[in-house]
Chain A
């Protein structure tokens, strides 16, 4: 069920984005490959910037490392960043479901040298999403 929601959310994203948001691809790309779990979401979204080894990268600015990152200790921090974004980090409240965000945050908090065992729940994510703009 949750993946159906995820799929619907991503499909909505693709549809909304398709008619000419600036010089963008246009009507194509409406059926991207849909990630099935936290690990796949990391690979298909997060590693574009945070890199496959989660060590981040530096150019004119820096994409922070998620590997061995103490800030992940408090689950609300990564949830908040994924939901709301900040600076170079885009927000995903409109394109990912609470379940998908919970899965990917859980994945990052239990891999790449992070060992925060408490799983993140969709309810925790939803609470932070609901608090947007309040």
Chain B
């Protein structure tokens, strides 16, 4: 075990730093999978010159489908969209007071949020380098505001550290960096780095460590005003007679390491989670509404696709009207299919064996989000937390504070859970009432005096049980990428697939748009060659 303040052994040092190395290695692996790749946006596709009368049928009115419709209509195609739901936008979606949501299995929730409050069940934050999405938000008049991704004053909770008492991110991060700086300084003094660095570079590194880790003149990380300027004061600087600040106690380093703070720090270093991030004003669903303003006239709603066939002359899509009943066959020259794979894998098609295998090879993730409406902003008023996330190792993973209407009196909705993996399955299997109860129980660790007291109502979305997608996002791995990805994205005669599942920017709206642009560009080329 790593001791609090004593001199560290080499093994203790490596163990402390190894956590960072491990994360870096993991990050490198993720990059190889493509999850960390930055977006590539060459600009809008500028397609033109469609053959007169040529038609395209688009399956799905999510962002990929609506972008395809917008650009293909501009190129001169006759376009229509079939959509399973009674609304456009797909996973780009917000739930407001008055909305009703029925999940698979039949549980129905009537959302009771006050006016202006909302839950974004799916996408909720936009990286500043997702340029395709930002481009179309601007083009379609969708107003954006900052999403507070990184808040030093939010909490980190781990049931195995500090007796389960949450600590402020800033104190944990400062103490982690300060201790690592001190340990590395000692490693230099003990000649451990002599084979790696010249004496001169070791001196430079020591100076850097002193500045980075807030070490004192003796290269020690200690309780003083210098360390407190990073980790926070016992008594902060004030005015007048008693204005002098008082330094704060350091946390025991073994507990700091155990809290998992290094993983939190690594998370915020991930390129897709670095500031600045954005959200639409009024809810994420505003983006889908913006797209629907452009192409809503092309959409047939409540259309459940049951068959997708193609031959030498065209594409035939069979769909049933889930509102009025009745089955219809729609024909077009070409098809852009954005139906999520979990659903598409159950639709009858005459696509090749290889394509079918690809469609069936990619499982979907299982996120659960829960919105909790509170009578007042106790996180702001009592804990000085304005936006950002508090993380926990429990099922709920985190709670996240609203990024708008700061200081406002009256009810506000905070995100009470963003669970995935094991925790996501567990919450998804519960009734909506059980989910709220679990979210209250687990989230109370952060704000024990207020959490239950101020709670008014809540709403939850378990993506496994969302009838129109039956999962959250396509989850590729190295093997499935190698075996199936190119097959999945290839134009097959008259049909091309598009959506976040057909991209390396999986589970981001940017991936859906980049996939769509690439798919329609290839389809257009194919159409002109035909």
| Contact between chains at B30 and A29 (CB < 8 Å) | no
Chain B residues with CB under 8 Å of A25's CB are: 367, 397-398, 418-420
Question: Are B160 and A29 interface neighbours, CB within 8 A?
Answer: no
Q: Give, as a whole number of angstroms, the nearest-CB distance from B302 to chain A.
A: 11
Within 8 A of A (CB), among B130-186: 158-160
Pairs of residues from A and B, 5 with the lowest C-beta to C-beta distance, nearest first: A59-B467, A22-B507, A28-B397, A87-B345, A90-B363
Contacts of B375 in A (CB 8 A): none
Additional A-B contacts beyond A88-B342, A88-B343 (18; CB < 8 A): A19-B266, A20-B273, A21-B507, A23-B508, A28-B394, A31-B159, A32-B422, A33-B422, A48-B425, A48-B426, A51-B104, A57-B106, A58-B104, A59-B467, A60-B468, A61-B342, A86-B360, A87-B341
B365, CB-defined interface residue at 8 Å:
yes
- Given A29-B397, A90-B364, answer yes or no on A45-B260 (Cβ-Cβ < 8 Å): no
Q: Which of B449-504 contact A (CB under 8 A)?
A: 462, 464-471, 473, 475, 479
Dominant SS among interface residues on chain A: loop
Tell me, rounded to whole Å, the shortest Cβ–Cβ distance linking B435 to chain A: 11
Q: Is the CB of B396 within 8 A of A22?
A: no
Complex: chain B residue closest to A88, CB-CB: B342
Hey, what's the 0/1 contact readout for A68-94 against B, CB within 8 Å counting as 1? 000000000000000001111111000
Q: Give a binary string over A40-67; 1 marks a CB under 8 Å from any B CB, 0 the rest.
A: 0001111111011000011111110000
- Complex alpha-carbon distance, A49 and B389, angstroms: 29
For residue A35, give the distance in angstroms from its CB to the closest CB of chain B. Answer: 9
Chain B residues at the A interface, C-beta cutoff of 8 Å: 23, 26-27, 30, 35-36, 84, 104-106, 123-125, 158-160, 260, 263-264, 266-267, 270, 272-273, 304, 339, 341-343, 345-347, 359-360, 363-367, 389, 391-398, 418-426, 428-429, 462, 464-471, 473, 475, 479, 505-508
Contact of A20 among B30, B429, B469 (CB under 8 A): B30
Is A87 within 8 A of B360, CB to CB? yes
How many Å from the CB of A10 to the closest CB on chain B? 5
A-side residues, CB < 8 A to B, are 10, 13-14, 16-34, 43-49, 51-52, 57-63, 85-91, 95, 133
What's the minimum C-beta distance from A132 to chain B, rounded to whole angstroms?
Answer: 10
* Pairwise interchain contact B267-A32, C-beta atoms closer than 8 A: no
Contact A48 B471, CB 8 Å, known A17-B421, A18-B263, A88-B345:
no
Return B60 CB to nearest CB of chain A, in Å.
10
| Residues of B close to A63: CB separation below 8 A | 104, 470
Q: List chain A residues, Cβ under 8 A from B30.
A: 19-21
Please state if B270 and A24 are interface contacts (CB–CB under 8 Å). Answer: no
B464 touches A20 (CB 8 A): no
Can you name the residue of chain A whose Cβ is closest to the Cβ of B262? A27
A133 to B267 Cα, complex, angstroms: 33
How distant is B508 from chain A, measured CB to nearest CB, in Å? 6
Contact A26 B470 (CB under 8 A): no
Q: Which residues of B contact A88 (CB under 8 A)?
A: 342-343, 345-346, 363-364, 470-471
Report the bound CA distance from A90 to B341 in whole Å.
Answer: 12
If A22-B473, A22-B508, A23-B272 touch, whether A29 touches B423 (CB-CB below 8 Å) is yes
- In the assembled complex, the CB of B41 is this many whole angstroms from the nearest CB of chain A, namely 18
Q: Are B363 and A91 in contact (CB under 8 A)?
A: yes
When distances are taken between beta carbons in the complex, the residues of chain B under 8 Å from A133 are 479
CB of B422 within 8 A of CB of A13, answer yes
Which residues of chain A have C-beta atoms less than 8 A from B339's C-beta?
60
The docked-state distance in angstroms from the alpha carbon of A87 to that of B420 is 19
A residues less than 8 Å from B341 (CB atoms)? 87
Known contacts A19-B30, A24-B507: A62-B429 contact under CB 8 Å: no
